[in-house]
Every structure is written in C-alpha cells, then in structure tokens.
Structure 1
Amino acid sequence: MSADSPTPTPPPGARSDWTIDQDWQAYSQSEHDVWTTLYERQTKLLPGRACNAFLKGLDALDLHRGGIPEFSRINEELNRLTGWSVVAVPGLVPDEVFFEHLANRRFPAGRFIRKPDELDYLQEPDVFHDVFGHVPMLTDPTFADYMQAYGQGGMRALGRGQLHNLARLYWYTVEFGLLETSEGLRIYGAGIVSSRAESIFALNDPSPNRLGFDLERVMRTPYRIDDFQQVYFVIPSLKALLNATLQDFEPIYQRLTQAPDIDIDVMAPGDRVFTCGTQAYAMAGGRLASA
C-alpha cells in the first residue's frame, strides 16, 4: 500500500483503530482445549530451545490458566512490567494501523483460534501465534523498547516506499529470530516458538543457513512465507538488536535503493557463519509445515 493510499475502512464491528472486543466468554470448550493442547506441546519442547527472556515471560503471564487467556487479565501484568497491552483485532490489519499500535505499545492479536485439524499449520496468525508466540517477549524491557521503535520506524518507512525492506527486519527478528547465548543458539521469534516443527528445524536441521545479524544484510534478504526458512539470522543480544534499530535509517534506506537483494540461500561476503546449510530441505521441495 502506498503512503498516499487511504487507510481501508475497518470491517463491521471494529472500531476506527481496527480493535474489537475479545469476547472471551464466547470461546467454546473445544477452542480452549485447542489452546491447552498447543500450550502443553510447546512448553514441553521449548526449555533448552527458547531464550530465557521468552521463558520468563511465559511464566510471568501465566498463559496456561483457563485455556485461551483473557487479554484484560494478562494486560495487568504486561502493563506493569513494560507498559504494553494486547488488543484484539479481527485479523490482519493495514500496515499503518499495525505500526500505530506498536508505536504506542499495543500489540494487535487475532481473537480466533485454529481448528483441531490445523494444529501444525495455519496460514493466518491466530490467537495462539499472537499471544503465546509474541507476548512473552514483550515482558522483557529491552525487547519491548525494540518493538516500539520498530512501530515508529514503520510509520516513517511508509512515507519512503521502502516498507519491504523494513518488513524483512520484522520477519527475521520478531518472527524468526535466533539469539546467541553462552549455552548455544536459542529461539525468540514468534513464528518459531509457536510452531512445534520449526522449533526443531530452526536449531537442529542441517538445511538452513544460520548467519550473524547485520541490519542491512537482513533488509536485503527476501523470506519465505509458506514454509520453513532457508536462512535464520542470529543476534548477539536483545540490546544489540535495539541499538541497531535506534539509529537513523535515512542513510540506510538511501544505500538500499542502490543495493540488489541477496538471494535467500546465498552466503554473502562478510557474513558471520554459524551454519553453512545444505539447503537440502528447500531443494527437495519443502512442505507447508510451519505454524
């Protein structure tokens, strides 16, 4: 969407900022059971895989109690810790609406949950992906600041027509980021921590490249939206990620207009290589396996 395009009209029942009531009482027992199944499966898998900030946030928010969490309940603790809150939206929202929420420390979350036969793959993010995957990291003050800075940067990027570059930063950090720790690589991206299959693939499979995070490198790299990633970027710390985002992006955008994309499976000069992947999974055709 161009910066000159008007913001689409919210769907019926949504407010002007695209938020809706969560209507927690309307969830069926079957829907709560899906949350419980997903929650229990992931929490058994993530110790030793997810970063400490995610695991601490998961404990702080008590996301297991009563099935699908009531946003008003978790917002009390989330707001106390970092000033963030979760707001319900009817689905994917326009870019400018999304950035406006992030810039004001509001995380938009879908209220629907996947069906029992969709546990391992869902095309549109649901409440499990949005709340289990994203919200625990928002309890960490540094990551919370990063997300706000990203929202503020997104509002500026819309005016430059370079949103595709900034979207790659979100994808390779917020959704599919890895963190370097003294115990080894850990996952923090929501697209990984909310997916049983990708929680394993991202850390253990020999197929993908795992490369050190470099802001401009990331912003020149396309991504997969329909399958496991062919490359993951590893940040040295959450503080380093925040600092990279707080710099002036204007000269970066100017350079990017002259810089070609880097193919998703390519090693580029200057890359810090954690894993030189075989790319065997992608070359074999892959499959729709991420959730």
Structure 2
Amino acid sequence: MSHLWSRTPVTPGGRLGRAAQHPGRCDSRYLQRRDTLVKLARGHRVGDPSPTVDYTEDEHATWRTVHGALGRAHRAHACREVLDAAEAAPIPADHVPQHAEVGARLKPLTGFEFTLAGGFVENRRFLGSMERGYFHAVQFVRHPSVPLYTPEPDVIHDVFGHGIHLASPGFAELYRMFGRAATRLTTPEALDVISRVYWFTLEFGVMAGAGAGTNPDEVNEVKAYGAALLSSYGELERLGACEVRELDVRAMVATPYRVSGYQPVLFGARCMNHLTDTLAGFLEDFDDDTAGRLGLRPVPGDRS
C-alpha cells in the first residue's frame, strides 16, 4: 500500500473531477516548486534535520484558508480526543510551519518529530520509523486554486492530521505500536497487512456507535479521528454518507481501499479504549507468520 492517495473532492465551490484533472497536475510553475521541495528529501536520513523552506505568501495564504475551514469542520465532525489534542498541536493560524517548529512542539508532549519525505515512503521505513518517534512528512503545499482539496498528502495533511495525533500521548502510542510491529517483520506481505490496518484506523478511522468518544453529545454520532479525514474538508462533510462497519482488523485487511475517490467504507471504534485495545491485541504479537495463521489475505486497492 502506498502512503499517498488521491481523492475526488467535494468543495463548497462544487465538484471537481478526478485527481489527474486537478490544476496542480498541469501547472508548470506549481510543479516546479513542488518538485524542488521533493528533491530535498533525496538521500535524507531518518532523524536528520529537515531543511528550512522559504514559503511564499501564496502558500501561507493557502494555509490560512484551510486553517479556517478545517477548524470549523473539526468542531463539527471530529471526536473529543482529537479536539483536545488539537489544543496543544503545532497548528499556527497564520503561516506554514517548518518541520523544526512542529517538532519543537511535539517532542516535549510525546517524543515525536517530523522527518523529511518527498512523497511515497515504503512500508518498512515509514512504519518502522514510528517506533523511534519519527513521522515522515512532506514540505510542499497544495495548489492555491483549490485550497480545500489535494490529490496527494501535503504539509497541510501532515500537520492537521498527524500533527494533531502526535500531540496526544494516547494517539502517539498507537503510532509506536505500528512501529514496533513493523521493525519485527521481514516480509513485504506482513508489512502490507499491518499497513492496511494503519490505513483504516490512523488514516481513515472514526468513532461510532453508543459511547463514541468521551463526550455524551457524541453518542450514536460518527466522529472522525483518522488523519486523512481530519485534513479533508470534503470527507468530513460527508461522513454521514459513508458505510461505517464495526472495528475489525480481519475485515479491514479484506476490504478494498480506494486510492482515487472518497473511502466508501470506514471502520468505527466505540471509544478510544476500544481502538487502543483492538490495535494492541493485534499488533503486539504480530509476526511474519501471523497473517498466514489467521488466513488474512489482503485484496487489491481500487485505483480507478
């Protein structure tokens, strides 16, 4: 599984087409800027300082637009644990933060820092680095013409999604669980299995059902906690249209994930303790042979 995806967006201005039609895919000036920042990650060693980026006023303006929209969407659609974590998270209102600025806020809270990525990061490195408190994050900003949609994760996704998670000791421990499991594994097949569970929980997970979250007002509501949802205005607004299934790691592995377009199926935990206990029970003893013993057979993702 890739740790990049593209989604067909719904924005206040209407519906856009497929990711390939996005303005960021055909704007030569934007692509040059993006590629310049991506190249900085070549040869980057996990844990080395990320280079400082001189962000433009247009990039800061995009950040401010998304900050306002996602702030409102989080208050309406994010679970209480996310809202609490966001109060301490490194999310300035007026500018795109540097990786070092993010790390300076996260490290005293949970021991995590951002380490530089240019885009796709293979599973062993991406997941395994989490054990040591490093999360791979990019530095480029989405195209300014469609600020509420990006066809690939950008720095806004990383900060508004994973940056919020990593300000919370409870969420940060879940990242470390995936990291500890990944470092024990030697086969791509086993790494793919835990990557799919990561996808449907820390990227696209929701709290749902009686007792969802810790707020009595959230009972029987679907509330987002996954980073991909937290950084996507459109997906937060359409949570009620998703099919939400009971949290089940076997079902996650057997469920096709959608790379292009919104996720039609989400998995809901009853509360944070339910999520933590489920992931701990699955990941703590997971090894290269677990998938075979349990009959877990990942299905291909939908790339249409």
TM-score by length of 1: 0.77
Match of 2:61 in 1: 33
Query: Is residue 2:292 matched to residue 1:254?
Result: yes
Match of 1:285 in 2: none
Equivalenced residues, count: 253
Contact kept in structure 2, 1:14 and 1:20, CA below 8 Å: no
| Alpha-carbon distance in 2 for matches of 1:18, 1:90 | 15
| Alpha-carbon distance in 1 for matches of 2:181, 2:139 | 26
| Alpha-carbon distance in 2 for matches of 1:169, 1:55 | 23
TM-score by length of 2: 0.74
Q: Which of 258, 264, 274 is 1:224 aligned to? A: 258
| Alpha-carbon distance in 2 for matches of 1:49, 1:85 | 27
Could you say if the C-alpha distance between residues 69 and 157 of structure 1 is closer, same or farther in structure 2, counting changes exceeding 3 Å? same
Please report how far the alpha carbon of residue 252 of structure 1 lies from its aligned counterpart in structure 2 after TM superposition: 4.2
1:162-211 Cα deviation digits (max 9, x unpaired): 33322211111111100132412210111111111100112x22xx3111
Match of 1:140 in 2: 168
Could you say if the C-alpha distance between residues 60 and 12 of structure 1 is closer, same or farther in structure 2, counting changes exceeding 3 Å? closer
Q: Which amino acid counterpart does residue 154 of structure 2 have in structure 1?
A: D
Could you say if the C-alpha distance between residues 98 and 12 of structure 1 is closer, same or farther in structure 2, counting changes exceeding 3 Å? closer
Q: Which runs of 5+ in 2 are unaligned?
A: 2-38
Q: Which of 36, 41, 44 is 1:15 aligned to? A: 44
Contact kept in structure 2, 1:89 and 1:110, CA below 8 Å: yes
**1:77-156 alignment runs, 5 A limit:** 77-156=105-184
**1:134-283 alignment runs, 5 A limit:** 134-159=162-187, 161-180=189-208, 181=212, 182=216, 183=218, 184-202=221-239, 204-205=240-241, 208-247=242-281, 248-250=285-287, 252-256=290-294, 258-259=295-296
Q: Which runs of 5+ in 1 are unaligned?
A: 2-9, 265-281, 283-287
Could you say if the C-alpha distance between residues 255 and 117 of structure 1 is closer, same or farther in structure 2, counting changes exceeding 3 Å? farther
Contact kept in structure 2, 1:168 and 1:222, CA below 8 Å: no
| Alpha-carbon distance in 1 for matches of 2:108, 2:143 | 33
| Alpha-carbon distance in 2 for matches of 1:172, 1:156 | 21
Please report how far the alpha carbon of residue 62 of structure 1 lies from its aligned counterpart in structure 2 after TM superposition: 4.7
Kindly, what percent of the aligned residue pairs are identical? 27
Could you say if the C-alpha distance between residues 12 and 139 of structure 1 is closer, same or farther in structure 2, counting changes exceeding 3 Å? closer
Please report how far the alpha carbon of residue 58 of structure 1 lies from its aligned counterpart in structure 2 after TM superposition: 1.9
